[in-house]
Amino acid sequence: MTTLTITQPDDLHLHVRDGEALKSVVPDTAKQFARAIIMPNLAEPITSVAMASNYREQILSASQSTSFTPLMTLYLTDKTDTATIKEVNSSHFTHALKLYPAGATTNSDKGVTDLANITPALEAMQKLGVPLLVHGEVTDPSIDIFDREQAFIDTTLIPLIKQFPDLKVVLEHITTRQAVDFVNQASDNIVATITAHHLLMNRNDIFTGGIRPHHYCLPVLKRETHRQALVTAATSGSPKFFLGTDSAPHPQHAKESACGCAGMYTALHAMELYTEAFDNADALNKLEGFASFYGADFYGLEHNTNTITLKKEKWQVPKSLTLGDSTIIPLRANEFCEWKLI
């Protein structure tokens, strides 16, 4: 197959930051995706519907597209109350709340320190059908970084689901075979997003010829057997697995540093990268469900009606891009993509 036309996809996990950086990155997403679930982990996290409304306006005015819809989320803290959950449920533009275990990743220091602190909020979310989006890694520094997702599933997620069996949960950006197995065995209300970078790379890519800060993200890339399990899940046709890029812009200087930030910038060419991953697995016929239907179905949204077309044509990714008054290095900078969005 040399061209592929599918229903316009949605990105169910995206970081766009704020201010000048936001203006640089939002158009990249809006060129490909009809909608995106916007992560709330700004330096000052989005913790109320009023803040989400303001943030949404910034994204809409930066999108350079009249048809792009940001789907807003709130950041759970130890203080999130049931009134906030009710407000999320009745607002037409807020769709979920995100659980960042405090200390797990970028701007997570104001996250939840103990799930017991948000029991009433979780009860309300379960009752109202408001999805809980989860960064699934334990924060205990004594746990090996490559085992933190599995440890989270065992010590936190399984007990959580036992306590709230009807809670809608998205295990975000899964990276391991154990996460795939867990989601497959769980009930229908438990689903997962998968990034393009975790489908295309393994942990060797962090160290090819030297340390590669632009290949550092959280959860960190895992070994090849896990990558293969993710490809199997994404291309299985199961509605439990859908597209979430986790595109996470950081300025070049913050990545290329003695203590570099976590995150890869894939918004530029996300659909090209996913298409390549599905093509490598000989599963292009499974891309549309994964990219355009299953996420929308989980969130109770209509399917998009536009289409996008991709062509099998090699092109070179720019060396760098503008990010506000700085620069950003996209994934595959100066290297090639096999598919091109037309």
**Partner in contact with 217, chosen from ligand DOR, Zn ion, none, beta carbon below 5 to 8 Å by kind:** ligand DOR
- Site residues (CB under 6 A) for ligand DOR, limited to 125-184: 135
Nearer to ligand DOR, 243 or 310 (CB): 243
312 bridge partner residues = 339
Q: Under DSSP, is residue 310 helix (H, G, I), strand (E, B) or coil?
A: strand
Element (H, E) at 306: none
Strand 94-99 with 69-75, pairing: parallel
**Partner in contact with 317, chosen from ligand DOR, Zn ion, none, beta carbon below 5 to 8 Å by kind:** none
Nearer to ligand DOR, 200 or 308 (CB): 200
Q: Is the peptide bond before 219 cis (omega within 30 degrees of 0)?
A: yes
Annotation marks residue 10 as catalytic: no
14 bridge partner residues = 38, 247
Tokens of 283: 């599963």
Q: Which string of b and e fits 51-86 if b means at least 16 CB within 10 Å?
A: bbeebbebbbebbeeeebbbbbbbbbbeebeeebbe
Question: Most distant CA pair in the chain: distance in Å?
Answer: 52
With contacts defined by CB under 5 A, name the span among 30-38, 206-214, 227-235, 246-254 that binds Zn ion: 246-254
Tell the smallest beta-carbon distance from residue 62 to ligand DOR (Å).
18
Q: Per rule CB under 6 A, is residue 263 in the interface with ligand DOR? A: yes
**Partner in contact with 41, chosen from Zn ion, ligand DOR, none, beta carbon below 5 to 8 Å by kind:** ligand DOR
Q: Per rule CB under 6 A, is residue 217 in the interface with ligand DOR? A: yes
Tell the smallest beta-carbon distance from residue 101 to ligand DOR (Å).
11
Q: What is the DSSP string of 70-92?
A: EEEEEE--TT--HHHHHHHHH-S
Nearer to Zn ion, 220 or 283 (CB): 220
Tokens of 291: 């990219």
Q: Which string of b and e fits 314-334 if b means at least 16 CB within 10 Å?
A: eeebeeebebbebebbbbbbe
Nearer to ligand DOR, 89 or 107 (CB): 107
Q: What are phi and psi of 250, to 5 degrees?
A: -130, 140
Q: Per rule CB under 6 A, is residue 218 in the interface with ligand DOR? A: yes
Nearer to ligand DOR, 216 or 339 (CB): 216
**Distance between CA atoms of residues 22 and 31, nearest Å:** 15
Q: Per rule CB under 5 A, is residue 246 in the interface with Zn ion? A: yes
* Binding footprint of ligand DOR, residue count (CB under 6 A): 11
Amino acid found at 32: Q
- Site residues (CB under 5 A) for Zn ion, limited to 212-241: none
Nearer to ligand DOR, 175 or 235 (CB): 175
Contact 199, 280 (CB under 8 A): no
* E-strand stretches of 135-231: 169-171, 190-194
Residue nearest to Zn ion (CB): 246
Instruction: Indicate which residue of 81, 166, 246, 325 is catalytic.
Output: 246
Q: Per rule CB under 6 A, is residue 15 in the interface with ligand DOR? A: yes
Per-residue interface string for the shown chain with ligand DOR, residues 83-122, x marking contact by CB under 6 A: ----------------------xx----------------
Residues known to be catalytic: 246
Q: Which residues bind ligand DOR (CB under 6 A)?
A: 15, 41, 105-106, 135, 217-218, 246, 248, 262-263
Q: Which residues bind Zn ion (CB under 5 A)?
A: 246
